[in-house]
Each structure stands twice: as C-alpha cells, then as structure tokens.
Amino acid sequence: MLLPHRDSAALTDPLEMLELPVGQQWDGKIAYLDRDGVINVGSENYVNSPAEVELLPKAAESIGRLRRAGYRIVIVTNQSPISRGHWDADNLDDIHSELRSRLLTEDSDAHLDLILFSPYAPWEGAWARKPNSGMLEAGRQLIEAASSNADFSSLRLQFDADWVERPDESTSFMVGDRGVDMAAAESFGVRGIRCDPDIGIAGVVDSILGGAA
C-alpha cells in the first residue's frame, strides 16, 4: 500500500502539538483541508515554487477562526508533480514553509498542525491519493497520538479495512474544491464541504462556525 507522506518529517516521527488559542481544550475536532483552491490560489500547472504561493483572501483569518473554535488543522493535498518528476519533496517543503509563514503573518493563530501529502501520480493507485482516504486516516491517528503524548516509536498506523475501531468524526469536516476531495471525505466518513476555488475556505467558514468570531 502506498502511504501518505508528511511535510518535513517521516510519517510517524514525533509530532509536537501547539496549544490551541484562547485556552481552548481540544475535544477531537479536526478541520481536514485541501490546499490549492482552499487556502491558496491553485493552478492547472501546479504551484511550483515558494514564489508562486498566493493566499486566497481571508484564508489565514479563516484558519485562525477555526483554531480559536477548537479545531486542529490537517492539510491533505495531492502532489503528483513529485512522482511525475517535475520537482522533489524538498521543493514541496519550501513551498509549505512559505505557506505557513504567510498564514502566520496575516493571523498569528493560523497554525497548520499537520501537513500530509500524496506524491503519487493518479495511475499508481495509491491509497494515500484522494479520492481515497489514506491521508485523512493518517491525519486523525497522528493528531490523536500527539494529543495523548503517545510513544511514536511504537506507533503503527492503520488504513482502509485494517482500521476497525475508528473514532467519531461527527464534529469534524473536510473542505475541498474538487470532487476527489468530497469522495475522500465520504470514504472516510466525515462531512465534506465543497468551496469555490476562487474564494476558498473563507467562503464556507461562516457556515461551519455559525458566524462565530
């Protein structure tokens, strides 16, 4: 099985959890977010360098609002340019470093708790690639492990039919701009919310939070 990859780390390396803002205690809520067309402007030719990172309007504020409401933020993004040979994972790390920096510049609470990516091309049939739910499955288990101070050296992630006893996802959601995002959400059993790629997360955050600040 072709598994997800993690930004700047091996998949099961220890993950440090920052405290949630305004004294929020995490109660299991996760916002699973696609990247391009949700947080930043996407392109049919891919986002190929840090210089090409352009945040969508109010994306940082929206992520900050989610974290202030008690959500952990997990990015789940297909990145086939790696498998296609256009560039490597080090370049993707640089892109994500720029993304994180720009988000935090606009809203100091807009921290991304975890970035997972699928480097595989569509024809490889990877469980990690949306519309499959491998990245969401890994995201939940890694966030749970980090939040409970689990021993990552013995952490063994479970996927697909092998993961039988799954936690409740009724308070979590997945935001994406494409059908593959909604299919991954359905496969995982979490509410899928489709956004306009020209507006992104800012266009749906009020409906998620009910207008809360």
Q: What is the pLDDT along the chain (213 residues), one digit of tens a residue?
A: 899 999 999 999 999 999 999 999 999 999 999 999 999 999 999 999 999 999 999 999 999 999 999 999 999 999 999 999 999 999 999 999 999 999 999 999 999 999 999 999 999 999 999 999 999 999 999 999 999 999 999 999 999 999 999 999 999 999 999 999 999 999 999 999 999 999 999 999 999 998 544
Report the CATH fold assignment for 5-209.
Rossmann fold (3.40.50)
Task: Tokens for 174, please give them.
Answer: 């997945």
Angle between helices 134-147 and 179-188 (to 10 degrees): 60
3-class DSSP assignment, residue 124: helix
Q: What ranges do the domains of the chain cover?
A: 5-209
Question: Catalytic site residue 93?
Answer: no
Catalytic residue among 7, 13, 27, 36: 36
User: What confidence score (pLDDT) does residue 31 get?
Assistant: 98
Angle at 40 between CA 36 and CA 46, to 5 degrees: 45
Catalytic residue among 34, 107, 177, 181: 34
Question: Catalytic site residue 109?
Answer: no
- H or E element: which one contains 209? helix 205-209
